Amino acid sequence: MWKRFGQIIGGLFLALIALAVLLLASVRAEYPPVLTAVRRVNRAFWNPRAMKTAGQPGAMASVIRHVGRTSGTPYETPIGPYTTDDGFVVALPYGSTPDWLKNVLAADSAVIVREGNTYLVDRPELIPSAVAFAHVPDSEQWSLRLFGVDQFLRVRRVEPQETHEEIADPV
C-alpha cells in the first residue's frame, strides 16, 4: 500500500514539474494564449492584493497611473520599476501587448507612485533588456532572463518647474 502511495505522489510531483516546465517554455516563447491566461490570473488574484500596499514605503510593488486611450478612464496598475538616473525602467514580462503599456505610450506620460513618492514621467520608450539590465540588480536579472523578458519600458521623470510669481506692490 505504501509503495503504491509513493508511486502516486511521485507521479503527481513529476506531472507538476512537467506543467511548470511547459508553462515556462510557453511564457519564454511568448505564446499568446498562455500569456493571456497568465495575465488574467494575475489581474484577478495578484493585482488586487498588490494594490492594497503598492506605492507605499516598503511595498513590493509601485503604481503606474495612466489614462485609457479611447475611454479617457483613469487606471492604476501595479508595476515593479527599477530606478535610473533620470527615471525608471519597467520589465515587460508579457511583451508590448498589455493595455496599461499601450495607454502610457499613447498618452506619452504617466504618474508613478514609488515608496510613497509621486513622479510625473514622460517620453516612454521600449528598450531591450541588454540596455535595461544596467539598472536592474544582478540578483533579479536571473529571473527576468529565465522568463525570457526581453523588453522594458523606459520613462523619464519630469522635473517640477519652478514657479515665479510676480508679487504686486500693494497700493
Q: What are the two backbone dihedrals, phi and then psi, of residue 90, each rounded to the nearest 5 degrees?
A: -130, 125
**Beta-carbon count within 10 A of 90 CB:** 22
Structural domain includes residue 108: yes
- pLDDT score, position 61: 94
Alpha-carbon gap, residue 16 to 29, rounded angstroms: 20
User: What is the domain extent for residue 127?
Assistant: 31-157
In a domain, 2, yes or no: no
Quick check: 50 and 39 in contact, CB under 8 A? no
Q: Look at residue 36 and tell me if it is in a domain.
A: yes
Positions in the chain whose pLDDT score sits under 70: 22-29, 31, 161-171
Number of domains the chain contains: 1
User: What's the pLDDT score for residue 26?
Assistant: 66
CATH number of domain containing 67: 2.30.110.10
Residue 3: what pLDDT? 79
What grid cell was written down for 32?
499568446
**Is residue 144 a part of any domain in this protein?**
yes
Contacts 24+ apart (CB under 8 A), 68-75: 68/99, 68/103, 69/102, 69/103, 69/106, 69/107, 75/100, 75/103
| Paired residues of 63 in beta bridges | 78, 113
pLDDT for the residue 66: 97
CA 5 to chain CA centroid, Å, is 42
CA distances from 89 to 65, 80, 128 (A): 15, 9, 11
Burial status of residue 155 (CB atoms within 10 A of its CB: 0-12, 13-18, 19 or more):
buried
Residue 149 covered by a domain: yes
As a whole number of angstroms, the distance between CA 126 and CA 2 comes to: 55
Q: For residue 10, is it within any domain?
A: no
Residue 104's nearest CA partner among 117, 82, 88 is 88
Residue-level pLDDT at 22: 66
Residue 6 inside a domain? The answer is: no
- pLDDT tens, residue by residue, 78-94: 999 999 999 999 999 88
